[in-house]
Amino acid sequence: MNDESKFYQRAEAWLERLLELNPVAATQLGDHRWDDRLGDQSLEALEAENEEIKAALAEFRSMDPSEFTLDGRIDHILVTHIFDSFVRSYEKIQGHRRSPGGYLEEVLGGVFSLIIRDFAPLPDRLRSALGRVREAPRVLKEAQANLIPERVPRVWAEVALEQAKQAPGLFVGLLPAMAAEAAPELQQDLAEAGQQAAQAIQEYADFLENEVLPRAAGDFAVGKDLFDEILREVHMVDYDADQLLKTGWEQFHQTKAQMETVAREIDPNRSVEDLLEEAKADHPTAEGLLEAYEQAMAEARQYVIDHQIATIPEGETLRIIETPTYLRPLIPYAAYMPPGILEEKQEGIFLVTPVDPNAPPEVQEQKLKGHSWSKLPITALHEAYPGHHLQLVWANRQKTIPRRMGSFISTLFIEGWAFYCEELMEQLGFIAEPIQRLSRLSDQLWRAARIILDVSLHTRGMSVDEAVDFLVKECKLEPTNALAEVRRYTQSPTQPQSYLMGKLAILELVDEFKRANPGISLQELHDSILGCGSLPPRLMRLRLLGK
Q: Which residues pair with 160 in a beta bridge?
A: none
- pLDDT of 330 over the 70 cut: no
- Neighbouring C-beta atoms of residue 305, cutoff 10 Å: 12
Query: Given this model, what pLDDT does residue 325 score?
Result: 72
Query: Given this model, what pLDDT does residue 134 score?
Result: 98
Q: What is the mean pLDDT of residues 392-418?
A: 95
Q: Residues with Cβ < 8 Å from 432, sequence gap 6 or more?
A: 426
Q: What is the mean pLDDT of residues 257-286?
A: 95
Q: What is the mean pLDDT of residues 365-394?
A: 93
- pLDDT of 403 over the 90 cut: yes
**Averaged confidence pLDDT in the chain:** 95
Q: Which residues pair with 336 in a beta bridge?
A: 350
Contact at 8 Å (CB) between 131 and 33? no
Backbone angles phi, psi at 476, to 5 degrees: 60, 30
CA angle 26, 29, 34 (to 5 degrees): 25
Query: Given this model, what pLDDT does residue 363 score?
Result: 85
Q: What is the mean pLDDT of residues 332-336?
A: 81
Q: How far apart are CA 383 and CA 104, in angstroms?
A: 26
Q: Which residues pair with 337 in a beta bridge?
A: 349
Q: How far apart are CA 395 and CA 417, in angstroms?
A: 12
Q: How far is CA 499 from CA 31, 388, 407, in A?
A: 29, 12, 14
Q: How far apart are CA 495 and CA 370, in angstroms?
A: 22
- Neighbouring C-beta atoms of residue 242, cutoff 10 Å: 12
- pLDDT of 329 over the 70 cut: no
Residue type, 499: Y
C-alpha of 223 from chain center: 22
User: What string of DSSP letters covers 83-95?
Assistant: HHHHHHIIIII-H
User: What string of DSSP letters covers 323-370?
Assistant: PPGGGTTT-SSEEEEPPPTT-SS-EEEEEE----TTS-HHHHHHHHGG
Nearest to 486 by CA among 398, 477, 300: 477
Q: How far is CA 477 from CA 52, 101, 374, 469, 481, in A?
A: 44, 25, 15, 9, 7
Q: Confidence class of residue 116 from pLDDT cuts 50, 70 and 90?
A: confident
Boundaries of every domain in the chain: 3-212, 232-545
Dihedral, CA of residue 480, residue 486, residue 488 and residue 493, to nearest 10: 170
- pLDDT of 531 over the 90 cut: yes
Q: How far apart are CA 119 and CA 262, in angstroms?
A: 46
CA-CA-CA-CA torsion sign (189, 195, 198, 203): negative
Query: Given this model, what pLDDT does residue 42 score?
Result: 98
Contact at 8 Å (CB) between 384 and 304? no
Nearest to 179 by CA among 169, 193, 189, 166: 189
Q: How far is CA 136 from CA 40, 41, 106, 403, 492, in A?
A: 11, 11, 9, 33, 25
- pLDDT of 326 over the 70 cut: no
Of 329 and 140, the one with more pLDDT: 140
Query: Given this model, what pLDDT does residue 377 score?
Result: 94
DSSP class of residue 55 equals H
Q: How far apart are CA 343 and CA 357, in angstroms?
A: 36
Q: How far apart are CA 200 and CA 386, in angstroms?
A: 43
Nearest to 18 by CA among 68, 111, 85: 85
Q: What is the mean pLDDT of residues 397-401?
A: 95
pLDDT, tens only, 47-61: 999 999 999 999 999
- pLDDT of 205 over the 90 cut: yes
Q: Confidence class of residue 302 from pLDDT cuts 50, 70 and 90?
A: very high
Query: Given this model, what pLDDT does residue 118 score?
Result: 84
- Flag whether the pTM goes above 0.85: yes
Q: What percent of the chain has pLDDT over 90?
A: 87
Query: Given this model, what pLDDT does residue 396 score?
Result: 96
pLDDT, tens only, 117-150: 889 999 999 999 999 999 999 999 999 999 999 9
- pLDDT of 219 over the 70 cut: yes
Contact at 8 Å (CB) between 210 and 197? no
Query: Given this model, what pLDDT does residue 370 score?
Result: 82
Query: Given this model, what pLDDT does residue 481 score?
Result: 82
Q: Confidence class of residue 334 from pLDDT cuts 50, 70 and 90?
A: confident
Q: Which of 11-15, 96-100, 407-411 has the lowest mean pLDDT?
A: 407-411
pLDDT, tens only, 459-508: 999 999 999 999 999 998 888 889 989 999 999 999 999 999 999 999 99
Q: How far apart are CA 383 and CA 377, in angstroms?
A: 10
Q: Confidence class of residue 327 from pLDDT cuts 50, 70 and 90?
A: low
